[in-house]
Structure 1
C-alpha cells in the first residue's frame, strides 16, 4: 500500500504571486502521473501550500517536480504525510541559525581571517578531515584576548531570519530543541538563550591569563558527536526516527541530516545538499515550519 504523501511549496518574497499557478500546474502533473490529489491547502496565502496526494510512489512524484523545473525563489519538500510535525529538532549554528562562521570572525581579530576562512570552506565542503581542520584553525587564535569573543558576538553574530520564530513555534508545540555546533560554547550558550533552544552542545576554547591558548577541550564535537546527540536524545525521549528533524549546511552535518526523519540542508554546501531529504535554497528558516505543515497564523513570533 502506498502511503499518503504531501508536497509543500514555499516561495520567498521574490516569487510574487506566481506560486498559485505553479501549485495548480504541479497538482495537475501529479494527477496525470496517476496520483489522487487533495485540493491545494494554503498554509500562507500565495506563499506556502500543501498538495497532499496518494497512489503515486515517491520516485514518480519527485520526477513530476523535477520536470516542472521550478523557478528560482521556490523551495519544496516531498515527504510522507504521517509524522510530518516533528517532536525533536536539532540544528547546526554557524551559517544556519546565525549568518556567520564564528571562527572566521575570531580569526579576523587575530589577523588570520583569509587563512582560517579557506580552511573553513574546505572543511564544510567535506574536503578536509574535520578534527584536523578544527585544531589547525583554533591554533591560529592563540593569544586572542577573551574580550574579542564578546566583540564578535556583539558586533558580528546575527540571527538568520526566521530562527527565533522557528524555535519558539516548535517549542510551543511540545518539540524538544537542541543547538549542536562544531563551534564554541561561548557563542552557542548565548545563541541558545537568544533563540530559545532547550540545550546546546559545542566545543570549549581554553584560556590562560585571559587569552586563548590555541587549544580546545577534547573530545571535539564533530559530525559523529552530532549524530550521537541526535540518537541519544531520540532514545531519551522515546521517539521514532520519523519524529525527528535536523538542519545544517556543511559536511559535518551530513550524518545528523541523514539519520533524522526529515533531514534538511539550509543554503548548504553541495555535499550536504545532496545528502538531505529537502533543501532550503531561497527562503528563511520559517520555511521549515511550512515543511511541517504549520500555518502562518500558528507562528510564534520573536
Structure 2
C-alpha cells in the first residue's frame, strides 16, 4: 500500500492554507514537490499502523500522515543546512536564513495540521505529545552527531536511536495511538531496529562516495569510519593525522588515490554490513511475532523491506 499521492496532496493543501506570505508559500511548495519525488515513507507508516489497529482510512488520518511528513521535511532541511553537503534540494539553492524560516514553518505546520484534525481530543493530544517527545529525542541525537565526538560502537548506536530511529518510532506510534488509544511497545522495538539498519546502510554508502559526501574526508565519526581508523597501521598514520585535524586535505592529497584500496582491504565495511543485517533481521523477527492480521503483517514486512 502506498498513499504517497494522497499524503502529498494533503501536505500541499496544508501549505497553501497555512502559509500566508506569498514567497514563503511558493518556496515551501517547491520544497514539498522536491520531497514528493520519493515515497512518503513516514506518512505511509503512520497510515499503515492506523489501519493495522482498526482505524478506518479517511481524510483526517491522511491529514495526520501529511503532518508527520511536514515534520520530517523540516528536519531534513535543517540537517542539510547544518551539514552543507547536499546541493540538490531547492532549500540549498536559496539564502540559508530563508530556508531556515521555511523549515520552522513546516515544524509549526505539522503541529497545526495534527491539532486541526477531527480525532478525539484525548487521542489527538496523545499523538501531539508523541510528535513532540520524539522530536526532542531527534534534536538530542542530532546534537551528538554535530559534536562529532563519538568513540565507540555503543555510543554510535545510542546516537542512531536518538536520531533517525526516533522518527520511525514517532511515525509508527502516532498512527497506533490515533487508532486504538494506546502505544504498543513492540512498535518501538522494530522501528528502532529498522532505524539502526537504515542508518548503517547510509553510513556504508557515505564512506564509499565522492569526497564531498564521503564521511572520512568530512571527518565524520560513523561506525565504519571508527572501525577503519582503529585498523590503521603505522604506515597509515596519515589517516589518523588527517581525521584528527593534524593534517589538511592538501597535506594528504597524494594518499587520497589509495584510500579506496585501503577501505576495501579493511574490515570496516564487512563488519558494518553484518551489524546492519543483524538489526534488519531482528526488525523482521519482531514483526513476524506481532499479533495483527496476516494481510497487515505482509504489507508491513513489504513496507519495511522497500
Greater RCO structure (CA 8 Å; 6+ sep): 1
TM-score normalised by L of structure 2: 0.25
TM-score normalised by L of structure 1: 0.25
Larger helix proportion, structure 1 or 2?
Answer: 2
Larger strand proportion, structure 1 or 2?
Answer: 1
